[in-house]
Amino acid sequence: MIFQAFFRSAMIIYFLTPGDDAVEIIGGKDVKPHSKPYMASIQLHRRHVCGGILIKPGWVLTAAHCNLKFKDQNIQVVLGTDSLSRDKDNSVQKLMVKQKFPHICFDSESREHDIMLLQLQTEAKLNKFVNVLPQPKNAWDVNDGTICTVVGWGKTNVKSNKLSDNLKEVNVTIINRAKCNSKNYYNNNPVITRNMLCAGDSKGGKDACQGDSGGPLICKNELRGIVSLEKNCGLRDKPGIYTRITNEYIKWIRKITD
């Protein structure tokens, strides 16, 4: 009995310790079925590459660094499903991308201006399975300590290329930029600017990971960020970095999509 109790405790510690052995949308759970009708799986050759957000029937918002993976290949957006393997359900809509609009000032090294719009060849049909997540009208900054939610189909293990089949979500906490830029965190490499948000967990173990790029950061029921940098999945001192939805980006989106 003592051995069994010790074994159970050891296993719990192993699976909850952040780092290489505990990386998915870390600490997350499956979303309630069809509760995120704005979520888009952006795919090449029927394989998920990045997440995205349907913000208008004909437009998907995602991260500009995803364009480095797309290049000039045909891109497909899959809407209306929580499961990547159940892409033949009646709720699913598959739409091709007509044109890409990565931010002209995007810097792949600093991740500054990591935002991109995808124009669909045909508009999505809105219903209870597929719907838009409106962009915020005002770009207030997100205060330190605010609890937000990140959503995606990211990797379940940093040592594996396997993605999560089911859409997952996890709560993360906003960390102020000064702290995130300090030597105990990113040490200004990269620099977390006013165009970015930093979010994670004080103990680690809650984060986005590869495959979640381009997905939303929801704060107080509004879109406030886009998953940008998630290479250090789940580490306490390397929280996730998100493109912040600023007034500049709101104007940029409206200029392109209106």
> CB under 8 Å to 201, separation ≥6 — which residues?
27, 172, 173, 207, 236, 239
Whether 113 is catalytic is no
Q: Is 34 a catalytic residue?
A: no
Q: What are phi and psi of 70, to 5 degrees?
A: -75, -45
Of the CA atoms within 13 Å of residue 128, those in its CB half-sphere come to 3
First vs last C-alpha separation in the chain: 67
Scanning the chain, the segments in alpha helix (DSSP H) are: 2-16, 67-70, 177-181, 247-257
Which residue of the set 41, 48, 103, 213 is catalytic? 213
| Catalytic residue (one of 65, 113, 164, 201) | 65
Per the structure block, which two tokens stand in for 158?
């940093």
> 52 and 118 in contact (C-beta within 8 Å)?
yes
The 10 Å Cβ neighbour count of residue 104 is 8
Of the candidates 48, 82, 113, 114, the residue annotated as catalytic is 114
Catalytic residue flag (residue 65): yes
Do 36 and 177 touch, CB atoms closer than 8 A? no
Rg (CA), the chain: 18
Rounded to whole angstroms, how far apart are CA atoms 100 and 118? 5
Active site residues per annotation = 65, 114, 213
